[in-house]
Structure 1
Amino acid sequence: MLEQSVGRFTTSEVCRSHCEEGPGKNLSFSVEIKWWLLVRMTLYFGSEFAAPFFTVRLQLLKK
């Protein structure tokens, strides 16, 4: 009994949602402009990768 009511609730909530459907529509950023996405991802991942190297360099220069 409980499982049926939970199943009906989740199904009805999905039907009532007014979100756009399709690939990339549920992301918080746009994937329509491919070069801008490439630039943003390169800056984000590049800075995260380079941060430890810059930190070590600064510590070595500190002496």
Structure 2
Amino acid sequence: MLLVARFTTSVVYRSHCEKGPGKNLPFSVEIKWWLLVRMTLYFESGFAIPFFTFRH
């Protein structure tokens, strides 16, 4: 049990990630309109694929 506690604390100390909301995401949330465009295109394409597949 003690070994697990030491390992997890050492991992936290060695991590080089920034702290704060949105800093650990794989995309930027700084530019809201660009995030909206990208998410809209992503979800629209996923929703449209079954309809295009059925039509063709």
Q: Same fold (TM over 0.5)?
A: yes
Deviation, structure 1 residue 41: 0.4
What stretches of structure 1 move > 3 A for 4+ residues in a row?
Answer: none
Distance (Å, rounded) in 2 between the aligned partners of 1:51 and 1:13: 41
Compute the RMSD of aligned alpha carbons.
0.9
**Which has the higher relative contact order, 1 or 2, with Cα contacts under 8 A spaced 6 or more apart?**
2
- What letter matches 1:4 in structure 2? L
Matched-pair identity in %: 77
Ranges in structure 1 where 5+ consecutive residues have no aligned partner: 59-63
Ranges in structure 2 where 5+ consecutive residues have no aligned partner: none
Q: Deviations over 1:4-56 (max 9, x none)?
A: 12111111210221110111111111010000000000000000001111111
Higher Rg of the two aligned structures: 1
Equivalent pairs counted in the alignment come to 56
Distance (Å, rounded) in 1 between the aligned partners of 2:43 and 2:7: 40
TM-score normalized by structure 1?
0.81
